[in-house]
Amino acid sequence: MSPGARLVAVLGVLALVLLLVGAAALFVGSAALSPGAVLAALTGRTGARSIESVVTLSIRLPRIAVAALAGGALAVAGVAFQALTRNPLAEPSVLGVSGGAAFGVVIGQSVGLGFGVLGAAGLTAFAFAGAVVAAGAVYLVAGAGRLSVQTLLLAGVIVGLFFASAITVVISFVDVNRLGGVIHWLLGNLATIPPASLGLFALTAAAGLALVLPHARELNLLALGEEAAQQLGVDAERLKLQIFAGAALLTASVVAFAGPIGFVGLIVPHALRLLLGPDNRLLVPAAFVGGGIFLLAADTVARSIVAPAELSVGVITSFCGAPFFVWLLRTRYRALL
Amino acid sequence: MAGLRARVRAVEQAVAAGSRPRVLYVLWPEPLIVPGRESLVTELIEIAGGRSISASEGTDYPRFALEAAVARAPEVILLANHSASTGGIDRERWRGLTSVPAIRDGRLHAVNGDLLHRYGPRIVDGLEQLARAIHPEAFR
């Protein structure tokens, strides 16, 4: 099969799975609607003002969209950080980048940014600044130049812990009424967001994706080493800067709208590499759809397992991700450590 | 003290004849936190002549799914304000849910959480505020 045909086939299958999981998620939730009621709401037979219609179309559907978008963004950020650092275990939360973005959001909230689409735009800017600072700090701590796998991970852990403490400091000083709900948000918490904010989220995630996706071929060359990539005509410095900006933007948008959800950028790219191989031209778009499938499934569990209460989706991804990380470390990447 | 007791009795009498509308009390909008079985606010809503839709939830202040709240079709929604101007209030989010009886009938109110969440004599002020929001017809 030609690479183009393979890409179309893989994306087609993944998109179909995403649609199926999304459709299933519409029927699940604590409101206990019958499948018939959901179908009636979807086909418009209940009237736009019925409870069934509001639950299905105004609460579940936007949340499904947020979950799919956030999962895709995080998975692509994972692929990007892994290619950028040539480290298979790099990922926004492991690298401390999510922690930096979260610190940015908490600062933004404590100066009064909050509800509404303008507030969300401001929070995204704060998150992006935090992500850039954190990633820069990891780079400095690990020592610029060739980064060994363990040095980079250690630097990421240190920076992540630093920002976690910084967040605690802010929470201790700021009126709790400004930061209420922050504990749930820090675990990674998907919620139904208004259409304007959802549009803004989609735009920022698309901008991040647009910085990474066109350079997938060059990322393959970068895997050979920077010098080799240079010799093959890749402007490595410029490429790294673009990928870095894209990954930071993807991470920041998710953190601003859903909180620092961990491990999606690790689980999804690795699962897809096992299935599809390491070619980034296939991996980057596949990770966007695959990440959506994974986080959507995790969120559907999170919002139905303890109904009528809810869990934060980050709890589910961490319960999956932490053992997966250990498994990767003990089996596939033993030789690297 | 006798004065406070008299005011509580006055509230009880004023709402005794009316129906008991379903009340959603929003302690925090995102994630949605509501008063559960053991909480003070649940009891105050009872006395003020309403029924909290989260009155049977297990813990004091449980997290609650938005769609579960909507599905229980609250007839009155009370958004708790916390001291400063910031905090729990997020009216816009609720205004969009036009199929909820409380929103359809324009019965979305802000209440002063400081009077309702803390044990003390001001609770009676809070109770009167609740009763007016739940049974405006009894206090004309």
The pLDDT tens digits of the residues spanning B61-113 come to 888 999 999 999 999 999 988 765 444 556 777 877 888 899 889 999 989 88
The answer to whether residue A115 sits within a structural domain is yes
Q: Which residues pair with B28 in a beta bridge?
A: B33
> Which one has a higher pLDDT value, B85 or A143?
A143
Give the C-alpha separation, A20 to B32, whole Å: 28
Nearest to A180 among B28, B71, B93 (CB): B28
Instruction: Decide if pLDDT at A126 tops 90.
Output: yes
Collapsed DSSP state (helix, strand, coil) of residue A35:
helix
Q: Does position A335 have pLDDT exceeding 80, yes or no?
A: no
d(CA B86, CA A179): 9
CA distance A261 to A81: 16
Cβ contacts below 8 Å, chain A against chain B, sum to 92
Select the more confidently predicted residue: A241 or A179: A241
Note the pLDDT tens digit of each residue in A127-139.
999 999 999 999 8
B19-33 pLDDT, tens digit per residue, is: 999 999 998 887 888
pLDDT at B139 > cutoff 90: no
Residue B126 phi, psi dihedral angles, 5° rounding: -65, -40
**Helix-, strand-, coil-residue percentages of chain B, each rounded to 5:** 40, 15, 45
Q: What is the pLDDT of residue A217?
A: 94
- On chain A, the residues whose CB falls within 8 A of the CB of B93 are 115, 194
pLDDT at A24 over 80: yes
Q: Is A28 exposed, middle or buried (0-12, 13-18, 19+ CB in 10 A)?
A: middle
Four-point Cα dihedral B23, A66, A31, A55, nearest 10:
70
Q: What is the pLDDT of residues A66-110, one digit of tens each?
A: 999 999 999 999 999 999 888 888 999 999 999 999 999 999 988
pLDDT at B128 over 80: yes
Model confidence pLDDT, tens digit, residues A279-312: 999 999 999 999 999 999 999 999 999 888 888 9
Whether the pLDDT of residue A162 is over 60: the answer is yes
CATH classification at residue A175? 1.10.3470.10
In a domain? residue A25: no
**Does the residue A70 lie in any domain?**
yes
Give the model's pLDDT for residue B85.
47
Q: For tokens 């009126």, what's the residue? A: A175
Q: What is the pLDDT of residue B86?
A: 47
Q: Among all residues of chain B, which has the CA nearest to that of A190?
A: B31
The backbone torsions φ and ψ at residue A102, rounded to the nearest 5 degrees and listed phi first, read -65, -40
Residue with tokens 């647009």: A210
Encoding tokens for residue B17?
Answer: 């004849």
Question: How much is the pLDDT for B87?
Answer: 47
Identify the residue whose tokens are 């698309």.
A206
Nearest alpha carbon to residue A243 among A280, A189, A269, A192: A280
pLDDT tens per residue across span A258-277: 999 999 999 999 999 999 99
Q: Cβ atoms within 10 A of the Cβ of A297, count?
A: 20
In a domain, A318, yes or no: yes
pLDDT at residue A152 is higher than 90? no
Q: Is the pLDDT of residue A144 over 90?
A: no
Closest residue, chain B, to A184 (C-alpha): B31
Tokens found for residue A266: 């690790």
State the total domains in chain A: 1
CATH number, domain B2-139, options 3.40.50.1980, 3.30.160.100, 3.40.50.1970, 3.40.50.2300: 3.40.50.1980
Domain of A194 in residue numbering reads as: 64-336
The CA-based diameter of chain B, rounded to the nearest angstrom, is 44
Residue A264, beta-bridge partner list: none
3-class DSSP assignment, residue A30: coil
**Residue A204 to residue A14: CA distance in whole angstroms:** 23
Q: What is the pLDDT of residue A178?
A: 64
Structure tokens at B139: 């206090």
Whether A308 sits inside 8 A of B93 (CB atoms) is no
- ipTM beyond cut 0.85: no
Average pLDDT of chain A to the nearest whole number? 90
Is the confidence at residue B121, as pLDDT, over 70? yes
Cα separation values, A216 from A5, A72, A240, B54, Å: 17, 16, 12, 51
pLDDT number for residue A145 = 60
CA–CA min distance B36, chain A (Å):
11
Q: Do B83 and A60 touch (CB under 8 A)?
A: no
**Which of B79, B92, B97, B99 to mutate against chain A (most A CBs within 10 Å)?**
B99
CB B11 within 8 A of CB B131: yes
The whole-angstrom distance between A288's CA and the closest CA on chain B is 27
SS3 of B111, please? strand
